[in-house]
Amino acid sequence: MKELVKFIPLLPLAGFLVNGLLNKKMPKTMAGLLASSVMAFAFIISFSTFLSIKDQPNASFVVNIYDFINVGSLKIPFSFLIDPLSVLMMMIITGVGFLIHIYSMGYMHDDEGQVRFFAYLNLFVFFMLLLVMGSNYIIMFIGWEGVGLCSYLLIGFWYKNQNYNDAAKKAFIVNRVGDLGFILAIFLIFNQFGSVQFADVIASASKLGTGSVMLTAITLLLFVGATGKSAQLPLFTWLPDAMAGPTPVSALIHAATMVTAGIYMIIRSNILFTLSPTTCAVIAGVGVATALFAATIGLAQNDIKKVLAYSTVSQLGFMFLALGVGSYTGALFHVMTHAFFKALLFLGAGSVIHAVSGEQDIRKMGGLKGKLTITFITFLLGTIAISGIPPFSGFFSKDEILAAAFSYSPILWGLGAVAAFCTAFYMFRLLFLTFFGTFRGTEEQKHHLHESPISMTLPLMVLAVLSVVGGYANIPAVLGGGEYLAKYLAPVLAPTTEYIAAHGHKAHLSHETEYALMGASVVIALIGIILAYVTYVAKKAVPAEDGAELGFLHKLILNKYYVDEIYDAVFVKPLYALSSFGYKFVEVSGIDKLVNLTSDSFVLGSKVSSKLQTGNVGTYLLLMVIGVIAILAYNFSRI
Amino acid sequence: MIALVILALLGVFLMMSGVLGIGRKSAGVVATLGIGAALLANTLMWDKDVTALNEMFNKMMIVDNYGLAMVGVILASAFGLFLLSDKYFSEITNYFTEHYALYIFALVGMICMVMYNNLSMLFIGIEIMSVSLYILAGSNKTNLASNEASLKYFLMGSFATGILLMGIALIYGATGSFYLSGIESHFVDNPDSNNIIALVGMFLLLIGMAFKVSVAPFHFWAPDVYEGSPTFVTAFMSTAVKVAGFASFYKLMYICFTPNILYWESVVWVMIVLTISVGSITALIQTGVKRLLAYSSVSHAGYMLITILTANEDSDLLFYTAAYVIASLLAFGVLFLVIDAKGDDKVESFNGLSKSNPFLAFSLTVAMASMAGLPLTAGFFAKFYVLTAAVKDGYIYLVLIAIVNAMVGIYYYFKVVIAMFFKEESSETISISVSPFYKLVLTSGILATIVLGVYPDLVYNLI
Amino acid sequence: MDKIFYFLSFLALLSAGMVVATKNPIHSVLYLLVTFTSITGHYILFNAQFLAAVNFIVYMGAIMVLFLFVIMFLNLNEKIEPMKSNIMKFIGVIAGCVLLALFVGTYKSALVMPVQPGVDTQIGLLKSLGLVLFRDFMLPFEVASVLLLAAMIGAVMLAKKDWN
Amino acid sequence: MESIINVIPLNYYIMLSAALFCIGVTGVLIRRNAIILFMSIELMLNSVNLLLTAFSSYSGDPNGQVFVFFIMAVAAAEVAVGLAIIVVMYRNTSSIDIDLLDKLRN
Amino acid sequence: MITLALIFFPLIASILVFLSGNNNAKKVALLGGLVQFVLSLVALSKYQVDPSSLAVNQAWLTSLGVNFTVGIDGIGIVLVLLTSFLIPIIILSTFEREFKNAAAFYALILFMSSALIGVFVSYNLLLFYIFWEAALIPIYFIAGYWGGEDRVKVTFKFFLYTIIGSLFMLVGIIYVYLQARSFDYTTLSALELTCSQQGWLFWAFFIAFAIKMPIFPFHTWQPNTYTTAPAAGTMLLSGIMLKMGIFGVIRWLVPISKAAFLCNGDIVIVFAVIGIVYGAVLAIKQDDIKRLVAFSSISHVGLIAAGLFAANELSLQGSVIQMFAHGVNVVGIFFIVDLIERRTGTRSIKELGGIINQAPLLSVFFVIIMLGSVALPLTNGFVGEFLLLNGLFQYHAGLAAVAGLSIILGAVYMLKMYQNVMLGESNEVTSNFAPLTLSEIIVLTVISATVIIMGVYPKYFLDLSQADIHSLVSSHCSSASCIK
């Protein structure tokens, strides 16, 4: 098994290389098949790895590939850590990735850049696998930046459109802001622990003591990294824009895998966070704020993918809320379920877009359920799952988070519940506007409406099944579940568990409370659904056209709280202005002027000294005599 | 000494043939060969025991390796220059033979200046040289500039002679001797000498010599005279004359006044600073290459003057003068041709020379690089040795000022290079034909500059 | 004796001053002649007979005649004599005075060399000078001939009109 | 006849010579006529001659007087050349005013 | 002997190229460059067996007691490799261009490579200085003769500016020579000086190196020169020549100024860090691609400089590998700029766009090299930048954080440039963009491959200099003293 593990990332890499190097020479259909098959193999290996290590307490192992960097005390092997956490992530990545590859074969069928697309996708999977498999922070960082690159390449996949390119650039740059935090954290870790290996860091973390400044700094910086990659406040703005990429990309990268990297990273370093309550509080706060913030924006969006994007941001906020309140399992659980249903939703949306010839505005859709039956059903299942209706997967994962949040602070629970309400509302609003009512697009679009090919619907069905049953991986004990995921992850979370066991300050909720909370959240979701139904099905309301008069609040959320505009005014414009100013006034008229002034002063001196050379012998003789006098005077003074 | 005799006879011979009006065509060849013979004779004396010869004339002149080396540089530069003389003479005058005779006499004077051991020899040597130069500077009689140069040089030169003589007189009065050794022993015997008369004499002597080598503030004649004189004379003045001046100046200061250095150190220090700065800074905005080279020569005089301050570094001076002379020869060689072709010496006249005549452009570039003191040229080590000696003696600030001026120097030397390589010729290209002698001199100049830039020991270890 | 000294010195200084001050070039030459005469007088006082003779012949005879000749040749006179502005003159005089003051000031503190008793007063005679000149100063003497030759060619070359 | 050297101190001669020298210098500075300038220079040379002779006589050393002889020879040569140059100048400019020599300048 | 061959072979080759005539010059030059590269590989293999076998010590100037001492250590070998690797690439990169006086052009390039190698192998300060200056002259002529608009003024300023710096160093060299009575590396590193002596020496040397690199605020010659010089000249300048300054610091400044090096580190690092941000910020709004890259180079070099003066093992190691990486990347970018300019006649970002439609292959290379430049992991830029920032972080966390802004800003200007030049719809300027030629593909392939190979397996390069840096740090950087 150990030997095969290194093939998990190598397979997609090989796929990338073959597709990438052959590019034009590669037959289009072959490209998809190749890319998908390497994913299939990778998944098979991941799955068998999973089988081999599950239920075994000390099954994790490290695979060394080669020494990456060895400088002085800094030793960074290129090695993979195979443990329950990474294997789970690998399965999600390769599994969901495989499905999306399959889907893409249909979705991208007519695109001329198909080969390139699959090459990028494979490359992305490669980096994502590096991210989760790396046994130290550097390898993780390699993957971390690599997925950012692929995200950049895929968002700007249709490079002729400069708006898409802008979105890609924005994604990369905002991510880099986070990356800076991450890499500074790595420096701190190295300087503190003398190693960047997870094992070493975790082993010596507790020596620093709870709440030490150093740990807080490290974790805060790590969290900054996570906010970038996982689109949290204040660095979330790139994710909605990232929808410019092809829809499978949105599904794979911007919903299921890459954006959860931040959560993975925090779970990976869980003990560090457990030891710094301040950071945890910050994370919880940011998480819930993001969840709420994005959810409210989602209420008023009209672009099918934008709604899903804000939903993703919001769901990621939930995950961070979970991390902040110490429920690492809950977070990962939600990562998993979210991967299923959000991938499903995106792919469904892709199917819809495919059907309506590229239209993304839900105001111009409607009544599609008849024509796109499979898409509709699967999309419905996904929507229910995300809204948190039992027994769909989303219910369990979200409920676990909300329960943990409640035990941490009821206020957090309250805010989370509001976000959950919004989620249910806007998701069903989306569903209703898209599939119910009558078609609002052009006649031509109507004429073209068709269900997607099997390569696209098959992944939808598989994901739909997973979205429905995914929750069974970790049914809470209170509902008679085995909390399988928690047990599976126990070795990874052992340091945290031990620490809590030793300090014992985690209050357990009573069963009654848990039941109450569950009930409350279901009720809240249902209210949201009903409200959406009333508004968009019963009243047949359609969101206002662009430019219509709107209330202040509506306008505010429709324009996403003007965050982009604010960032533009606060960061982008000043930076550009600074650049122009710096060049004109500091560089050219400042430093360079000063440099030139030095040489000019010599020229000036030259002009002055030239004046002495009058051409008049009398003057020369006088000057000579003055010289003589000066020397003799000097001599006289020395006597 | 034999060189002296050869040259004196050669001069008389040329003069007589001039009077008789014969051998006009071959005068140049005879003169060049004669200088060559003198150079050979000079070289043959190297390392020989010449006590008897020195005694013969009562040690009025001392033949030693220092003198031989310096005379060697002078004669070699004159030899090189004469090889380049073909066009020059026929154009400005009918009196070639007499001209050649005057150059030869000037060389005789220089030998006296370099090898003197008695102030009378120094004085007479200087006068022979100066008188010849006064005439040569004005040899283009119908040219006002030449005339003006000649008169200026003459007036100021004789004035300086007056000062020099006053110095000699006072020195004699104080020390009772015209012999260098006599003067030296006076100062050595009276180490804390406050013999004011001797000191005044010393300073006046210093001033007189400073004038001859164009050290500020007694340099004012140089730019005007260099510019006004026929180019060939300018070349002669900035090579052989300069070397002779410094060789004698150095000898004088080193032998006689080193015991007294505390008295004149600061004066010379100031002179050096003034010379280097005035030379290089004023050169910045010059548009004529001759004038530019004149200021450059002033500035180089400052560097050479450093050797006098640091003393006991004969090799420094030798190397510096050798490097400077070679570079000057190269520069003037090209300048002759360009002036000949273009009619003036403006920097613009050099525009596009690299295209019409790359060889000349390259020669001049090497010359300028050497004068600027860039590595791989002799000029670099020349400055390097001088500045090293100065730092060794603790003249850090002096060196810093010198360095700043070296930077300024690069600026104006490269103005010419820029014109040659990077600027387009305004009018149509005039191709300049280069005679074999020019090729010979320029090629050997380039080689010498580079060889000395890589392996300076060749000259430096001579003395 | 000392009276002669004072007289000659006074005469030399006065006429030297007049050389510089007088406007007419010919007068200047004549004043210069007077100066030289008084200096010749000093030579005689020193018993430097040879120098006195040479000075008389070379300076007053040859050189001054040459000056006079050129001045007359060029027809210079008071009317066309160029004069510097007063301010320049003033500066020149000041400079001269400062120089003199420096000399005087410096010499005042100089040690006065005592006259050795039994100094040979006959050195200035032809015989003694001849010996020194042709024995010790043989080489400069010979070389000086080169100087004269050079001056001769030069003067001829410059002054002569070109043939063409 | 009692020698002058026993009557008049050497310093007097030094002073006299210095005075003559300075008059010469002043002349150089205040005149514009090239010939007068040249005469002033001759004055300076003569002051040197006087000084050398004085030193020579006071110390009983003939070398100084020989040197004066050389100076005279040199002066003669210079005068010949100098006047020739002045004549050439006069031919070209019809003047011997040194202030007219200002063609060569920066 | 191989060391001497490395220095003198290009010199001979340069003469041969000059004599071979304008038509054959480029081929002969390329051949010379390749032979030189092979020679450097031979040197590398010898180095790995026994570094001391590369040392040569010949009597040279007896008057000053100077020996011709050369040798190659771990730091030198990296730069020798860089030089001999880049020179053939640079020569090949010009194959699509026709130069007037081509023979002179290529001869100058080879002459320069000789001087550059000389700088990197000299163990004698005077020799170092001579090579240092000798390297300047060919590039001055290359930039001045074959350069673009305003070349005369710009290159002359560059020439003067750098020479001014060198002359200060010359004073320092003379001074230190008189203290040690030797120019020899070992003698000089054992020299004991007073604090103030060390301080003066530090600044005298530092200014020369700072101008060469250049470190803010001595950089103003650089953008103009890079912009004006012909592409090959810009590549030489940015790819190799600026490394002379960095190398000079490691080889000479550290052992000579000792304690002053450590205690002046603060000031220098502050300026270097200002330069990092300054260069990056100014790059953002540049319209001329070359100028943009020039400012980015200021930023990158600022980081290397900061790392140098942080003077710990990580940062020094980082700076050494980053020298190589930066050299390769910047040559790649300038080459791309050149081939775009050659095809479209412009370097203005505003006027370009959509080149990817015509030349997708170019965009691939562009992306790879750009990623190297923005230090994406698994490219060569990352290793150096990571080590440098880490080392700087050990020195001062706050400064490292500020320096780290370049991670963000670098992405801003690079991506902006890439987007506006390559992506989008083609316009009339770019619609006739000719596909890449063979020589261009070779150059770009070699560079891109290097970018990735070094990024994926940096250990080989790091190991080259590891031992020497370790000993340098332990002997000079960890503790240094001066006589009070």
Peptide bond just before B223 cis, omega within 30 deg: no
Q: Which chains touch E (3 or more CB pairs under 8 A)?
A: A, B
State whether residue C73 sits within 8 Å of chain B by CB.
Answer: no
| % of chain E exceeding 90 in pLDDT | 50
Peptide bond just before B436 cis, omega within 30 deg: no
pLDDT at residue A532 above 90?
A: no
The residues in B 266-295 lying below 8 A from D, measured between CB atoms, are: 282, 285-286, 291
For residues A507-533, give the mean pLDDT.
84
User: For residue E208, which amino acid is it?
Assistant: A
State whether residue D99 sits within 8 Å of chain A by CB.
Answer: yes
Supply the pLDDT for residue B41: 92
DSSP assigned state of A307:
H
Q: Hey, which residues does D47 pair with through a beta bridge? A: none
Confidence of residue A108 (pLDDT cuts 50, 70, 90): confident
Strands (E), E14-102: 56-61, 66-70
Question: Could you write out the DSSP letters of every residue in E219-271?
Answer: -THHHHHHHHS-HHHHHIIIIIIHHHHHHHIIIIIHHHHTHHHHHTHHHHHHH
Residues of E in contact with A66 (CB under 8 A): 457, 459
Q: Which of A617-626, D1-10, D88-97, E207-216 has the lowest mean pLDDT?
A: D1-10
Supply the pLDDT for residue A372: 82
Interstrand relation of E56-61 and E66-70 (parallel, antiparallel or unpaired): antiparallel
- Convert the pLDDT of each residue in A135-188 to its tens digit: 999 999 999 999 999 999 988 888 888 889 989 999 999 999 999 999 999 999
CA distance A624 to chain D (A): 10
- Convert the pLDDT of each residue in E223-278 to its tens digit: 999 999 999 999 999 999 999 999 999 999 888 888 888 888 889 999 999 999 99
CA distance A630 to chain C (A): 9
Q: Which of B84-93, B342-351, C91-100 has the lowest mean pLDDT?
A: B84-93
Q: How many angstroms separate the CA atoms of D6 and C152, rounded? A: 43
Contact between residue A627 and residue C96 where contact means Cβ atoms under 8 Å apart: no
3-state secondary structure of A390: coil
CB atoms E217 and A173 under 8 Å: no
Contact between residue A277 and residue A211 where contact means Cβ atoms under 8 Å apart: yes
pLDDT at residue C68 above 70?
A: yes
CA distance C154 to chain B (A): 6
pLDDT at residue E383 above 70?
A: yes
CB atoms E220 and A578 under 8 Å: no
Confidence of residue B192 (pLDDT cuts 50, 70, 90): low
**pLDDT: is A474 or A324 the higher one?**
A324
pLDDT at residue A250 above 90?
A: no
The residues in E 385-414 lying below 8 A from B, measured between CB atoms, are: none
Supply the pLDDT for residue C1: 73
Confidence of residue D60 (pLDDT cuts 50, 70, 90): confident
For residue E410, what is the nearest residue in chain A, using CA coordinates? A173
Q: How many angstroms separate the CA atoms of A481 and A461, rounded? A: 26
Q: Which chains touch B (3 or more CB pairs under 8 A)?
A: A, C, D, E
Confidence of residue A231 (pLDDT cuts 50, 70, 90): confident
Of C18, A71, E212, A416, the C-alpha closest to D20 is: C18
Supply the pLDDT for residue B91: 60
pLDDT at residue A32 above 60?
A: yes
Supply the pLDDT for residue A488: 84
Cβ pairs bridging B and D (under 8 Å): 125
| % of chain A exceeding 70 in pLDDT | 99
Instruction: Give the ranges where B45-143 is alpha helix by DSSP (H).
Output: 51-56, 65-83, 86-92, 96-115, 119-137
3-state secondary structure of E431: coil
Question: For C162, which of B102, B121, B141 is closest by C-beta distance?
Answer: B141
For residues D18-46, give the mean pLDDT.
92
Residues of C in contact with B101 (CB under 8 A): 150, 153
Question: For D105, which of A615, A622, A625 is closest by C-beta distance?
Answer: A615
For residues A576-599, give the mean pLDDT.
88
Residues of A in contact with D102 (CB under 8 A): 614-616
Supply the pLDDT for residue B94: 66
Phi–psi pair at B229, nearest 5 degrees: -65, 155
**CB burial of residue E432 (10 Å; 0-12, 13-18, 19+):** exposed
pLDDT at residue A100 above 70?
A: yes
State whether residue C101 sits within 8 Å of chain A by CB.
Answer: no
Contact between residue B400 and residue E171 where contact means Cβ atoms under 8 Å apart: yes
Of A95, A34, A106, the C-alpha closest to A456 is: A106
Supply the pLDDT for residue D67: 93
Q: Which chains touch A (3 or more CB pairs under 8 A)?
A: B, C, D, E
Distances (CA, A) of A36 to A33, A117, A127, D11: 5, 12, 16, 117
Distances (CA, A) of E340 to A406, E355, E358: 61, 9, 12
State whether residue C86 sits within 8 Å of chain A by CB.
Answer: no
| % of chain B exceeding 90 in pLDDT | 55
CA distance B124 to chain D (A): 8
The residues in C 2-61 lying below 8 A from A, measured between CB atoms, are: none
CA distance B152 to chain D (A): 8
Q: End-to-end alpha-carbon separation of chain D, Å?
A: 61
Supply the pLDDT for residue A564: 85
Supply the pLDDT for residue C114: 64
Confidence of residue E10 (pLDDT cuts 50, 70, 90): very high
* Percent helix / strand / coil, chain D, rounded to 5: 80, 5, 20
Q: How many angstroms separate the CA atoms of B367 and A204, rounded? A: 69
CB atoms D36 and C20 under 8 Å: yes
**CB burial of residue C28 (10 Å; 0-12, 13-18, 19+):** buried
Supply the pLDDT for residue A160: 87
Q: How many angstroms separate the CA atoms of A19 and A127, rounded? A: 16
User: How many secondary structure helices (H) and strands (E) does chain B include?
Assistant: 22, 0
pLDDT at residue D1 above 60?
A: no
Q: How many angstroms separate the CA atoms of B291 and B282, rounded? A: 10
Of A219, A186, A177, the C-alpha closest to E387 is: A186
Contact between residue B240 and residue B107 where contact means Cβ atoms under 8 Å apart: yes
Supply the pLDDT for residue B92: 59
Contact between residue C55 and residue C36 where contact means Cβ atoms under 8 Å apart: yes
> Which residue in the block uniquely carries the two structure tokens 């206020």?
A411
Strands (E), A168-300: none
Supply the pLDDT for residue A304: 86
CB atoms B221 and A620 under 8 Å: yes
For residues B437-441, give the mean pLDDT.
91
pLDDT at residue A478 above 80?
A: no
For residues D17-40, give the mean pLDDT.
92
Residues of D in contact with C67 (CB under 8 A): 35, 38-39, 79, 83
Supply the pLDDT for residue B267: 93
Q: How many angstroms separate the CA atoms of A111 and B345, rounded? A: 71
CA distance C154 to chain D (A): 6
User: What is the overall mean pLDDT for chain A?
Assistant: 86
CB atoms A621 and B159 under 8 Å: yes
CB atoms B58 and C151 under 8 Å: no
> Which residue in the block uniquely carries the two structure tokens 């033949």?
B63
Contact between residue D24 and residue D44 where contact means Cβ atoms under 8 Å apart: yes
CA distance A614 to chain C (A): 15
Contact between residue A36 and residue A101 where contact means Cβ atoms under 8 Å apart: yes
pTM here?
A: 0.91
Question: For A622, which of C95, C105, C109 is closest by C-beta distance?
Answer: C95
Question: For D46, which of C36, C136, C147 is closest by C-beta distance?
Answer: C36
Q: How many angstroms separate the CA atoms of B139 and B137, rounded? A: 6
Question: For B403, which of E134, E144, E171 is closest by C-beta distance?
Answer: E171
Confidence of residue E324 (pLDDT cuts 50, 70, 90): very high
CB atoms B263 and A609 under 8 Å: no
Q: How many angstroms separate the CA atoms of B390 and B373, rounded? A: 16
Supply the pLDDT for residue C99: 93
In this predicted complex, what is the ipTM?
0.91
Q: Most D CBs within 10 Å: which of A603, A612, A617, as the mutation test of the D interface?
A: A617
User: What is the overall mean pLDDT for chain C?
Assistant: 86
Q: Most D CBs within 10 Å: which of C74, C84, C88, C131, as the mutation test of the D interface?
A: C74
CB atoms D98 and A617 under 8 Å: yes
Supply the pLDDT for residue C164: 46
Contact between residue A532 and residue A424 where contact means Cβ atoms under 8 Å apart: yes
Supply the pLDDT for residue A473: 79
Question: For B227, which of D14, D28, D104 is closest by C-beta distance?
Answer: D104
- Convert the pLDDT of each residue in B113-132 to its tens digit: 999 999 999 999 999 999 99
Supply the pLDDT for residue B317: 93
CA distance A581 to chain E (A): 9
Q: How many CA atoms lie within 13 A of A488 on its CB side?
A: 23
pLDDT at residue E23 above 90?
A: no
For residue E411, what is the nearest residue in chain A, using CA coordinates? A173
pLDDT at residue D71 above 70?
A: yes
3-state secondary structure of A68: strand
CB atoms D81 and B134 under 8 Å: yes
**CB burial of residue A480 (10 Å; 0-12, 13-18, 19+):** exposed
Q: How many CA atoms lie within 13 A of A258 on its CB side?
A: 32
CB atoms B102 and C150 under 8 Å: yes
State whether residue C131 sits within 8 Å of chain B by CB.
Answer: no
CA distance E62 to chain B (A): 7
Question: For C149, which of B12, B58, B112 is closest by C-beta distance?
Answer: B12
Question: For A636, which of C84, C88, C102 is closest by C-beta distance?
Answer: C102
For residues B267-291, give the mean pLDDT.
92
Contact between residue B104 and residue B75 where contact means Cβ atoms under 8 Å apart: no
- Convert the pLDDT of each residue in E198-229 to its tens digit: 888 999 999 999 999 889 889 889 999 999 99
Supply the pLDDT for residue B213: 92
Q: Hey, which residues does E61 pair with through a beta bridge? A: E66
User: For residue C3, which amino acid is it?
Assistant: K
CA distance D25 to chain A (A): 8
3-state secondary structure of A309: helix
For residues D32-52, give the mean pLDDT.
92
Both tokens assigned to E82: 């860089």
CA distance E472 to chain B (A): 29
For residues A360-377, give the mean pLDDT.
82
Q: How many angstroms separate the CA atoms of B372 and A321, rounded? A: 72
Chain E and chain D touch, per 3+ beta carbon pairs within 8 A: no
Q: How many CA atoms lie within 13 A of E433 on its CB side?
A: 27
Supply the pLDDT for residue B100: 87
The residues in D 9-28 lying below 8 A from A, measured between CB atoms, are: 25, 28
